Amino acid sequence: MFTIKEVANSLEMSTQAIYKQKQRLINKGFMIKNNSNQWEITDDGFNYLQDKKINYMQQHYTTSCKSVANQPLKKEVKEDTQTVDISTNETVVNLLINQYKEQLQTVTNQLQEMTEQRDYFKAKFEEKDNLCNQYMNSHLLPLSENETEEKQEKPKQSIFKRFFSK
């Protein structure tokens, strides 16, 4: 489970863009509320948004490059006395898509590492919490039978008698 902010950061999109798809994500079971009443994205939801963004990027780059690719363009660009031949074709689009996929894989790996770190610290917290509970239970348990009998045997004295009897 991931928070909306984690997913938005890892997919390089705004939280608002995710919230615009909220109803669709809820209907598909990709967005649910956690115990603290906060919205979270499931693993499948993250994969869905990731695939959706890849498809969008492929369509966006493909359509914007096709209009230019349909016109046979060749330009010579001079950079510091070097001539570079630039032609627009499908290889440019494929390079952009591959570069985006590499970036997406890097972000996915970072997200996986962060998830592992979160799980590690969650386990540590639960371990400390259990130790604390054990300590509290051992010190706050009801008195044993012997201790209860000793308390009952001692007559209660008023506050004045305690102070003035010494």
- Residues 87-107: tens digit of each pLDDT: 556 777 888 888 999 999 999
What confidence score (pLDDT) does residue 155 get? 59
- Residues 34-83: tens digit of each pLDDT: 888 888 999 898 889 888 888 887 777 655 555 544 554 444 444 444 44
Contacts of 33 (CB under 8 A, 6+ apart): 39, 40
Q: Is 40 helix (H, G, I), strand (E, B) or coil?
A: strand
Name the residue type at position 165.
Answer: S
Closest CA to 65 of 40, 33, 97: 97
Q: What is the pTM of this model?
A: 0.38
